[in-house]
């Protein structure tokens, strides 16, 4: 199945290199040279993934990410020229799913994209494709989450965290285990990012957020009171 990626990067040489790698890996590519053009193309197109630079003219990556998350849960990988953890945390807070620090290998970026999209693809299982606890319903096939029959919009990472916690109801899941489950063993970021995603997830769950308990010094667990 052909996948479409929107690449928003203002530096032409880098953008062309990324485009070539994705096209060589059988992606349909849409490219934008600045943040404003990126938003316009995103709104006009159907894409499976966004590669988004942070430092750009007209609109920076933060503003573009805010716009994308206001209308869509499509996976977003952010590109940053700094290794500052605060950049990554802000990106995650805005709803990005992963980030890559420049300079980077385009093949690694494509591998991250492939891995992210593989996890996003609906499961073909018919026997275990739904779970419901405490008024929260997850449909794994459609990746739709409902709270008291009202659909809520989660990012890919928020969906994976909620699904994993509910799948392991009552068990303490460490931050390290969540990182490995979502990003794999080769993830080079810190586990503080999980705290940001949990905070965003709780906000969207509203009064159901009480079921995601923090186990201090350990991690998190999904609790359903008797």
> What was the pLDDT predicted at 93?
81
> What was the pLDDT predicted at 186?
63
Architecture of domain 130-222 in this structure: Orthogonal Bundle (1.10)
> What was the pLDDT predicted at 121?
61
Helices (H) and strands (E) in the chain, counts: 8, 12
- Delimit the domains of the chain by residue range: 3-120, 130-222
> What was the pLDDT predicted at 57?
83
> What was the pLDDT predicted at 5?
96
> What was the pLDDT predicted at 82?
67
CA dist 145 and 214 (Å) reads: 21
pTM: 0.63
Long-range contacts of 146-152 (CB under 8 A, 24+ apart): 147/205, 147/206, 147/208, 148/208, 152/204, 152/205
CA dist 96 and 189 (Å) reads: 14
CA dist 95 and 77 (Å) reads: 10
Backbone phi and psi for residue 26, each to the nearest 5 degrees, phi listed first: 65, 35
Q: Which has the closest alpha carbon to 193: 60, 103, 87?
A: 87
Task: Count how many Cα atoms sit within 13 Å of the Cα of residue 56 in the half-sphere of its side chain.
Answer: 31
What are the b/e assignments for 165-176, b being 16+ CB within 10 Å?
bbbeeeeebebe
Residues of the chain short of pLDDT 70, as ranges, are: 1, 82-87, 120-128, 185-191, 226
DSSP code, position 54: S
Q: Which has the closest alpha carbon to 71: 128, 135, 153, 162?
A: 153
Torsion, CA 34, CA 37, CA 42, CA 43, rounded to 10 = 150
> What was the pLDDT predicted at 124?
39
Q: What angle, rounded to 10 degrees, do the helices at 156-167 and 192-205 form?
A: 90
Report whether CATH 3.40.50.2300 matches the domain 3-120.
yes
């Amino acid at each position: 199945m052909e996948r479409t990626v929107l690449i928003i990067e203002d530096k032409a040489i880098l953008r062309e290199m990324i485009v070539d790698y994705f096209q060589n890996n059988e992606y349909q590519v849409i490219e934008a040279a600045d943040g404003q053009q990126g938003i316009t193309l995103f709104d006009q197109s159907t894409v499976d993934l966004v590669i988004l630079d942070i430092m750009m003219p007209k609109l920076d990556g933060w503003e573009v990410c805010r716009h994308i998350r206001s209308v869509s849960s499509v996976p977003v990988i952010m590109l940053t020229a700094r290794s500052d953890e605060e950049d990554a945390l802000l990106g995650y807070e805005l709803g990005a799913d992963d980030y890559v620090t420049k300079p980077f290998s385009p093949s690694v970026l494509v591998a991250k994209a492939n891995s992210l999209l593989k996890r996003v693809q609906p499961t073909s299982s018919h026997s275990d494709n739904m779970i419901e606890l405490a008024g929260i319903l997850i449909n794994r096939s459609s990746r739709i989450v409902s709270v008291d029959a009202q659909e809520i919009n989660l990012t890919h990472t928020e969906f994976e965290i909620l699904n994993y916690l509910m799948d392991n109801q009552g068990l303490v899941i460490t931050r390290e285990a969540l990182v490995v489950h979502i990003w794999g063993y080769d993830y080079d970021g810190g586990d503080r990012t999980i705290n940001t995603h949990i905070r965003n997830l709780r906000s969207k769950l509203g009064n159901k957020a009480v079921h995601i308990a923090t186990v201090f010094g350990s991690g998190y667990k999904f609790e359903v009171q008797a």
